[in-house]
Amino acid sequence: MRISRMAPEVATPRLVARTSGFLTAMGGVAASALVLGTAGGLDEMLLGVVALGPVTTVVGLGVIRWGHRVPLVFFQVLLAVGVLGIGVFAHAAPTVSGAVAVLALSAFASMAAFLFFSVRWALGFLTELLVIGAVVVVLRGDVSAGPAAVLAVLVVGSAGAIGLLARRAASAEEDALTGLVNRRGFDEALDVAVRTAVRTGEPLSTALFDLDHFKTVNDTQGHAAGDEMLRAVALTWGSVLPRGAVLARHGGDEFALLLPGSDGDSALACAEALRAALPGIGTSVGVAELALGDSPADLMRRADAALYRVKTLGRGRSELDAGGQSPMARDLAAALAAGSSGGLSVHLQPVVTPADGVVVGVEALVRWNHPELGAVPPMDFVPVAEQEGLIGALGAFVWAAACRDARTLSEATGRSLFLTVNVSGLELDDPGFPDRVLATLEGSGWPAERTVVEVTESLVEAESTRSVQALHVLREHGLRVAIDDFGTGYSALSRLDTLPTDFLKLDNSFVSAITTSSRRARLLRSVMALADALDLILIAEGVETAEQAQALASLGCPLAQGYLYGRPRPVAELVAALAALDVAAPVVALAGRADG
Question: For residue 580, how far is the Cα from the chain centroid?
Answer: 52
Q: By the 8 A CB rule, do 181 and 257 touch?
A: no
Distance CA 553, CA 560 (A): 9
Long-range Cβ contact pairs of 584-591 (< 8 A, separation 24 or more): 586/356, 586/357, 587/350, 587/352, 587/357, 587/358, 587/359, 588/357, 588/546, 588/549, 588/564, 590/350, 590/359, 590/565, 590/566, 591/563, 591/564, 591/565, 591/566, 591/567
CA atoms within 13 A on the CB side of 347: 15
Could you state, in order of their start, the residue ranges of all structural domains in the chain? 7-172, 183-321, 348-595
- What is the torsional sign of CA 586, 593, 368, 304? positive
Assign residue 143 a region (left: φ > 0; alpha: ψ between -120 and 50; beta: otherwise).
beta
Distances, alpha carbon 493 to alpha carbons 474, 509, 534, in Å? 22, 17, 11
Q: By the 8 A CB rule, do 307 and 286 touch?
A: yes
The pLDDT of residue 466 is 75
Residue type, 514: I
The pLDDT of residue 283 is 92
Distance CA 93, CA 231 (A): 53
Distances, alpha carbon 435 to alpha carbons 390, 440, 444, 545, in Å? 18, 9, 14, 41
Taking the alpha carbons at both ends of the chain, their separation in whole angstroms is 69
Q: By the 8 A CB rule, do 296 and 189 touch?
A: no
327-338 and 378-387 helices cross at what angle (nearest 10)? 90
pLDDT in tens, the chain (596 residues): 333 333 333 345 666 777 777 877 877 787 777 666 665 545 555 555 567 668 878 887 888 877 767 777 787 888 888 888 788 877 777 778 777 777 777 777 787 777 777 778 888 888 888 888 888 888 888 888 887 888 888 888 877 777 777 666 555 667 878 888 888 889 888 988 998 898 888 999 999 999 988 878 887 888 888 899 999 999 999 888 988 899 999 888 899 999 999 999 899 999 999 999 998 888 999 999 998 778 888 888 888 878 877 876 667 889 888 554 567 887 888 898 887 778 999 999 999 999 888 899 999 999 999 988 899 999 889 888 877 778 888 999 999 999 999 999 999 988 889 999 999 887 887 778 999 999 999 999 999 999 999 987 656 554 467 788 889 999 999 999 998 877 655 445 666 766 788 998 887 877 887 877 778 788 888 888 888 888 899 999 989 999 989 988 988 889 999 999 999 999 999 999 888 764 434 433 343 333 33
The pLDDT of residue 247 is 93
Distances, alpha carbon 399 to alpha carbons 158, 354, 433, in Å? 71, 27, 11
Q: By the 8 A CB rule, do 403 and 441 touch?
A: yes
Distance CA 184, CA 248 (A): 9
Name the CATH code of domain 348-595 (choices 3.20.20.450, 1.10.3720.10, 1.20.970.10, 3.40.50.170).
Answer: 3.20.20.450
Alpha-helical regions (H) of 445-567? 457-462, 465-476, 492-495, 508-511, 518-533, 546-555
Topology (CATH) of 183-321:
Alpha-Beta Plaits (3.30.70)
Distance CA 518, CA 127 (A): 80
Residue type, 192: V
Closest CA to 592 of 564, 558, 559: 564
Distance CA 559, CA 541 (A): 9
Q: By the 8 A CB rule, do 351 and 581 touch?
A: no
The pLDDT of residue 20 is 75
Maximum C-alpha span of the chain: 120
